[in-house]
Amino acid sequence: MSRVSGLTTLSIAGLLLTAAGCSDFQSSFAPSKRTLALIPEAQSGVGTTPGVTPLVDEKFGNPQHLKAWKKLPVEWGGVTSSVAEYVAGDKPVIRLTADETTPFPVRAGRLVLTSGDGAGKSYEISDWNAEKGEATLASAPEVAPAAGDNCTLDPGNLLQSGRVLYMRHCSHCHGTAGDGNGPTAQYLYPRPRDYRNGIFKFTSTIDSSRATRDDLLRVLKYGIPGTYMPSFLLMKDEELEALVEYVRFLAMRGEYEQKLVSELAADFSSKALETRLQSESRQDIVQELADFLKDDMPETAETAGDELAETWTTAEAEESKVVPSVPRVPDSPESRRRGRELYLGKALNCANCHGIDGAGNGPQTIAFEKNPLTDELYPEAGLHDIWGNLNQPRNLQTGIFRGGRRPIDVFNRIYAGIKGSSMPAFKNTPHEDIWHVVNYVLSLQFESETGAVGEAPAETVAAAAADSQN
Amino acid sequence: MKSIRGQFILVFSAMALSATVGCGSYGGGAGVVPEVTFIEAGGEDAEAAEATSESSAELPTGSLKGKVTLSGGSPTLPLLIAKGSAVKDAEVCAAEDVPDERLIVGPDGAVSNVFVYLSKAPKGARPLEVPAEPFLFDQKTCKFIPHAVIIPVRQTVKVLSNDSVAHNTHTFPSKNAAINSTVNPMDRDGLVSFAYTKAEAVPLAVKCDFHAWMNAWHLPLDHPFGAVSNASGEFEIANIPAGKHSFVVWHEAANGGFVQRKLEVEITAGETAEVSIDYPASLLKL
| Span of A69-83, A438-452, B68-82, B83-97 with lowest mean pLDDT | A438-452
**Confidence at residue A78, expressed as pLDDT on a 0 to 100 scale:** 87
Which residues of chain A make contact with B11, given a CB cutoff of 8 A?
A: 7-8, 11
User: Which regions of chain B are under pLDDT 70?
Assistant: 1-2, 16, 18-29, 43-58
> Which amino acid type is present at position B7?
Q
**Confidence at residue A452, expressed as pLDDT on a 0 to 100 scale:** 63
Instruction: Report the interhelical angle of A237-268 vs A297-314 (nearest 10°).
Output: 140
**Confidence at residue B53, expressed as pLDDT on a 0 to 100 scale:** 45
- Say how far apart CA B233 and CA B110 lie, in whole Å: 4
- A161-320 and A333-469 share one CATH topology? yes
* Residue A16 in this model has a pLDDT that exceeds 80: no
- Say how far apart CA A330 and CA A336 lie, in whole Å: 10
* Burial class (CB within 10 angstroms; exposed 0-12, middle 13-18, buried 19+) of A244: buried
CA distance B236 to chain A (A): 25
Residue A216 and residue A403 in contact, taking contact as beta carbons nearer than 8 Å: no
Instruction: Report the interhelical angle of A237-268 vs A52-60 (nearest 10°).
Output: 160
- Put simply, whether B16 touches A (Cβ < 8 Å) is no
**Confidence at residue B40, expressed as pLDDT on a 0 to 100 scale:** 86
A411 vs A138, which has greater pLDDT? A411
H or E stretch including A12?
helix A2-21
CATH architecture of A79-155: Beta Barrel (2.40)
pLDDT interval class at A131 (50, 70, 90): confident
B111 CB-near residues (< 8 Å, 6+ apart): B68, B69, B70, B103, B104, B105, B229, B233, B251, B279
Which option is the CATH number for A333-469: 3.30.565.10, 3.30.360.10, 1.10.287.310, 1.10.760.10?
1.10.760.10
Domain ranges of chain A: 79-155, 161-320, 333-469
**Confidence at residue A194, expressed as pLDDT on a 0 to 100 scale:** 95
* Residue A298 in this model has a pLDDT that exceeds 80: yes
- Put simply, whether B178 touches A (Cβ < 8 Å) is yes
**Confidence at residue B54, expressed as pLDDT on a 0 to 100 scale:** 45
Judged by CB atoms within 8 Å, which residues 141-160 of B form the interface with A?
none
Q: Which fold has domain B60-283?
A: Immunoglobulin-like (2.60.40)
Q: Which fold has domain A161-320?
A: Cytochrome Bc1 Complex; Chain D, domain 2 (1.10.760)
* Residue A21 in this model has a pLDDT that exceeds 60: no
**Confidence at residue A4, expressed as pLDDT on a 0 to 100 scale:** 55
The residue in chain B having the minimum alpha-carbon distance to the alpha carbon of residue A15 is B18
How large is the ipTM?
A: 0.83
Alpha carbon A285 to its chain centroid, in Å, reads: 36
pLDDT interval class at A258 (50, 70, 90): very high
H or E stretch including A237?
helix A237-268
pLDDT interval class at A346 (50, 70, 90): confident
- Taking residue B155's Cβ as centre, other Cβ atoms within 10 Å add up to 17
- SS3 breakdown of chain B: % helix, strand, coil, rounded to 5? 10, 40, 50
Model confidence pLDDT, tens digit, residues A374-433: 777 888 888 888 888 888 899 999 999 999 999 999 999 999 999 999 899 999 999 999
Domain ranges of chain B: 60-283
Cβ within 8 Å, pair B38-A155? yes
Model confidence pLDDT, tens digit, residues B185-197: 999 999 999 999 9
**Per-chain mean pLDDT for chain A:** 88
Cβ within 8 Å, pair B34-A428? no
- Length of chain B as a residue count: 286
